[in-house]
Amino acid sequence: MTMPGCMGGWRWGVAHTLMAIFLVVMALSFLSVIRLELVVNGLLIGLIMAVGAIGLSLVYGILKFANIAQGDFMTLGAYMCLFLLGTLFPRMNIQGTGLGPFTFGYPMLLALPLVMVVLATLAIGLDIGVYRRLRGRGVSTVVLAMTSLGVAIALRGAVQVLWGGETEQYPRLSRQFYQAPMDVRIPPDGIFIGLVTVTLVVALYLFLSRTRMGKAMRATSDNEELARVSGINTERVIWWTWAIGAALAATAGILLAVFQAQLLPIMGWRVLIPLFAAVILGGIGNPFGALVGALIIGVTSEVSTEWLSPSYKPAVAFLLMIATLLVRPTGIFGVKS
């Protein structure tokens, strides 16, 4: 059984698609059909979604099931960061806002990697306690997805028990938006979002293409049985996958909370549709496809607010996903199985 969608061969495809989209969007905004500011906003949201969607796609490619809990992993990551920034760090006298041009302070730079590690550990723990036992029984992938729904509900319940259901905020300093040409306003935190995303994508690329474990992950995604008879310990690969997937979810959750300047327990569940739309658009199991998918989804949903009520954004993502399933179910970069 080979997976439709694999991680190689994306270089050309991704580059060309991005370039084509970029040109079309630029042309449209110069013709004043759409406001460039919406495009920039869409790109920022797309980058945040991409971080979560890449993690989702990796797990999808290797464990072969739709991890419904990815959105609530994001929520949990965002709230853990709130705990560090709002409660734990101040007690240790680590506090501050307004680092450089950003709304948050230097504690964020400590909190982000810490939350990534904690969430990665939690994901491995969940695999040992739950998913591995089900794999051992040889259950179908749809039962694993069902289980992840239960995990998603429990995670959100835990967040609400620990933090309540009210809107929260990271300690922040309000900042002026940058004024760019063509009436584009860019939030200073957008630069942080771009930096973090680019760093993570480059790091993931190097990991998957240069390291032994990264190549083993791609091999396992391609063909698990063949990986095992090649001597790859696929259980170890699965742990790495969970760890990376959850660390990326944590990052995406934190970035989303920074960008929207608020945290809500339902924030992760709400982005589940754009997340899956991005994964399917990019081809399941292809993390770099998920990046492109997320950017397309982000820009399209944002630009749609020119004509539609902004609350329809998830529905736009959903329609894009349905269109993909109709036209090319394997996604833009997917390989026919």
Please give the residues from 169 up to 208 whose contact with other proteins meets the rule CB under 8 A.
none
Count of residues that bind other proteins according to CB under 8 A: 74
**9 makes contact with other proteins (CB under 8 A):** yes
**132 makes contact with other proteins (CB under 8 A):** no
**List 86, 96, 98, 329, residue binding other proteins (CB under 8 A):** 329
Q: Which residues of 242-276 are buried (b: 16+ CB within 10 A; e: fewer)?
A: bbbbbbbbbbbbbbbbbbeeebbbebbbbbbbbbb
**157 makes contact with other proteins (CB under 8 A):** yes
The helix (run of H) or strand (run of E) holding residue 285 is none
Q: Which stretch binds other proteins (CB under 8 A): 22-30, 47-55, 132-140, 289-297?
A: 132-140
Segment 256 to 295, residues that bind other proteins, using CB under 8 A = 269, 272-273, 276-277, 280, 284
State the nearest-atom distance from the C-beta of 334 to other proteins, in Å: 11
Residues 6 or more apart in contact with residue 262 via CB below 8 angstroms: 167, 168, 169
Segment 69 to 128, residues that bind other proteins, using CB under 8 A = none
State the nearest-atom distance from the C-beta of 230 to other proteins, in Å: 5
DSSP states of 90-143: HHTT---B--TTSSB-THHHHHHHHHHHHHHHHHHHHIIIIIHHHHHTT--HHH
**68 makes contact with other proteins (CB under 8 A):** yes
**335 makes contact with other proteins (CB under 8 A):** yes
Rounded to 10 degrees, what is the CA torsion of 21, 23, 26, 27?
A: -120
Q: Check residue 306 and report its DSSP letter.
A: T
Closer Cβ to other proteins, 189 or 222, answer by number: 222
**143 makes contact with other proteins (CB under 8 A):** yes
Segment 203 to 262, residues that bind other proteins, using CB under 8 A = 212, 215-216, 218-219, 221-223, 225-234
118 and 80 Cβ atoms separated by less than 8 Å: yes
* Among the listed residues 234, 68, 248, the one whose alpha carbon sits nearest the alpha carbon of residue 148: 68
